Amino acid sequence: MKKRILAALVILTGATACYKDNAEDMYPSGGNSGGTCDTANVTFSGTVKPIIDANCATSGCHFDASVTGIDLFHYSGVAAVANSGKLVSAITHDGQASFMPKGLPKLDDCSIAKIVKWVNSGAPNN
């Protein structure tokens, strides 16, 4: 009797523990998960700004240029850092600029690819 109860528990536990067993649900595309990264229509306002806001500007670090010397809250500040080469250097951790975000893990590969695409396109205000 105990063996049947134990077997039933093992089966139930195993059945419920793997409810997200497909890669699409477990690893949504867009991040470092191995999914595809769409860099076809990268814009400042729709793509780059949300990444910068989430990781740099609204976190308090680069919201106000008077504090850090780098304003990543406004297009003009982001464009200036992008055009200097420091933005890509900082997020790719190539050693030419301080690693960013400071004290946090490197941005995911897709976010980096989108920012690099925008910079390589001339950092347009779009």
Give tens-digit pLDDT for 42-91: 999 999 999 999 988 766 677 666 667 888 888 999 999 999 999 999 99
pTM equals: 0.69
Q: Supply the pLDDT for residue 70.
A: 87
Give the 3-state secondary structure of the chain: CHHHHHHHHHHHHHHHHCCCCCHHHHCCCCCCCCCCCCCCCCCHHHHHHHHHHHHHHCCCCCCCHHHHCCCCCCHHHHHHHHHHCHHHHHHHCCCCCCCCCCCCCCCCHHHHHHHHHHHHCCCCCC
Question: What mean pLDDT is predicted for residues 104-124?
Answer: 96
Percent of the chain scoring above 90 in pLDDT: 48
pLDDT at 29: 40
* pLDDT at residue number 34: 57
- Calculate mean pLDDT across residues 90-99: 92
